[in-house]
Structure 1
Amino acid sequence: MDFTADLPVVQVRRAVMRRALIATDLPPRVALAMGDEPLLLRYTVGLFGYGLIGCAVTDAESCLRRLAEQPHGLLVCSDSLKGGDVLSLTATVKDRHPQLKVIVIGTAPVQDPALVRAGWVDGLVAERDMTFRSGALQAAVLAALGGHHFRSASMRDLPVPAPISELSPRDYEILEGLADGLTDREIAERLMISPSTAKSYTKRLLQNMGARNRLQALVMALRQGLIRLR
């Protein structure tokens, strides 16, 4: 197909997204985190233009470090990273930077139900929905900047199990620690909180899930697709 006639529309979309970000009270800076380097380069050049790109990384650790060094208004990441897990990354980002808007681009043929359900992800866009004429990514960005949640067309009718309860980003971080076999003290070290706080978070998680102990919580989370064993 010939999309030459649509090129001006693509340029207008980029300009609209730039203006929308600059017009908010958020820092006018975009963070990109994508495990695939060619994909990262494509979005670095084509998403907002170089002027608003604050960082471009391929792993979760680098992303968290850059966000801590300099405030950003928007994080756009893919569902695959070279280091780290996008679910854990986005949960941590929202916990540390609540105002930052998060857009995830789904590149996998079958999307992780936990990611589809993650309430802290402001926009989730399947790469296959991002065509010349759909404007799916622009819609996700504008919705997120306006304080709304967005799921692209193929994401809206996915069969997702009913959630156990409304879990917070911190709850998911605790679950990830349980899945990795960590003690409360080790979870505290990972999350840079005190052991007593980690213990309190774990207790709250069990109550939220209606679980008797850590093992039952882990089994329930695995069955619901809330976490994955690495």
Structure 2
Amino acid sequence: MTVQPGTSTGTSTGTIGVLVVDDHAVVRRGVVAYLEALENVEVVGEAANGRDAIDCLESLQVRRQPLPRVALMDLMMPKMDGVEATAEIARRFPAVRVVILTSFGEIERIHAALENGAAGYLLKDAGPSEVAAAIYAAANDDVFLDVTVARRLAQKMRSPHSGVAALTSRERDVLVLVAEGRSNREIAAKLVISERTARTHVSNLLGKLGLRSRTQAVLVAMREGLVPPPT
């Protein structure tokens, strides 16, 4: 576990603090080198597994230092894997958004990560622009899915109906609130559910519609007449 002491991790100054979690040191170094070149992104720590990531966050919390806004998390790691770590982070450090960056794209793994609170899911062949987009989206309380991941979710979750007809009534409610510009916290308060459940509904409806971001969901909601277009 490596933490940069005294580093600004909050978003109040416009800087997005990122914790990089991967059991392969070479991969971590490559990811860190890329992230350090991004505007308004600062790598605040590294961890070799999920357990070390939790320890890192605990250490920052004990020292009353700001937590990173985003944890870029591998999936298959020793001691504690990415799904378990994501669930614990969502429970204990809800201000930290987890983006999965992994070589594994099986639908069961994708579902497990999203259902346990991940704010994004990328495959390791994703381009630099996608990694950046996922980090910026997560920092803004949005969800970002790799195009391949979104396609697999759509194929798996789509019912014999298509489009919005494939959504449950609750997912339609969430879609309308997303289109109104509500954050996950606001959606949770409106529907009297937990913020984690709200994130899961957003991830599920994006998957069913084959979308990758809230912006695309807004366009679908307007096209389907669920919300009026802006005047």
Cα distance between partner residues in 2 of 1:154 and 1:143: 18
Contact 2:86 2:113 in 1 (8 A): no
Aligned-partner residue type, residue 101 of structure 1: R
Give RMSD over aligned pairs. Answer: 2.9
* Percentage of pairs with the same residue: 11
Aligned-partner residue type, residue 83 of structure 1: K
* 1:145 pairs with 2:139: yes
Instruction: Note the 1:63-78 alignment, pairs <5 A.
Output: 63-70=53-60, 71-78=67-74
Paired residue secondary structure (2:19): strand
Q: What does the per-residue CA deviation read over 1:82-103, in whole Å, with 9 as the maximum and x for residues that have no partner?
A: 3212111001011111111111
Q: CA deviation at 1:161?
A: 5.8
Paired residue secondary structure (1:84): coil
Corresponding residue of 1:90: 86
Contact 2:110 2:121 in 1 (8 A): no
Cα distance between partner residues in 1 of 2:82 and 2:28: 15
Contact 1:26 1:72 in 2 (8 A): no
Q: CA deviation at 1:119?
A: 5.8
Paired residue secondary structure (2:142): coil
Corresponding residue of 1:120: 117
Query: 2:106 pairs with 104, 110, 119, which one?
Result: 110
Cα distance between partner residues in 2 of 1:136 and 1:93: 23
Stretches of structure 1 lacking an aligned partner (at least 5 in a row): 1-20, 167-230
Give 4+ residue runs of structure 1 displaced > 6 Å after superposition.
none
Higher deviation after alignment, 89-98 or 64-73:
64-73
Corresponding residue of 1:34: 22
Q: CA deviation at 1:79?
A: 1.4
Contact 1:32 1:57 in 2 (8 A): yes
Cα distance between partner residues in 2 of 1:63 and 1:101: 13
Paired residue secondary structure (1:29): strand
Contact 2:17 2:43 in 1 (8 A): yes
Contact 1:26 1:73 in 2 (8 A): no
Are residues 118 and 26 of structure 1, via their aligned partners in 2, closer, same or farther at CA, if it must alter by over 3 Å? farther
Aligned-partner residue type, residue 118 of structure 2: V
Q: Give the TM-score taking structure 1 as reference length.
A: 0.53
Instruction: Note the 1:155-166 alignment, pairs <5 A.
Output: 155-158=149-152, 159-160=155-156
Contact 1:79 1:106 in 2 (8 A): yes
Structure of higher CA gyration radius: 1
Contact 2:90 2:116 in 1 (8 A): no
Q: CA deviation at 1:138?
A: 1.3
Contact 1:77 1:104 in 2 (8 A): yes
Q: What does the per-residue CA deviation read over 1:138-159, in whole Å, with 9 as the maximum and x for residues that have no partner?
A: 1111111111111110001214
Aligned-partner residue type, residue 29 of structure 2: L
Cα distance between partner residues in 1 of 2:13 and 2:156: 34
Contact 1:27 1:73 in 2 (8 A): no
Aligned-partner residue type, residue 122 of structure 1: A
Q: CA deviation at 1:34?
A: 0.4
Cα distance between partner residues in 2 of 1:41 and 1:90: 21
Query: 1:46 pairs with 13, 34, 43, which one?
Result: 34
Instruction: Note the 1:3-14 alignment, pairs <5 A.
Output: none
Contact 1:34 1:40 in 2 (8 A): yes
Query: 1:61 pairs with 37, 45, 51, which one?
Result: 51
Are residues 120 and 25 of structure 1, via their aligned partners in 2, closer, same or farther at CA, if it must alter by over 3 Å? farther
Cα distance between partner residues in 2 of 1:117 and 1:52: 25
Paired residue secondary structure (2:46): strand
Contact 1:58 1:83 in 2 (8 A): no
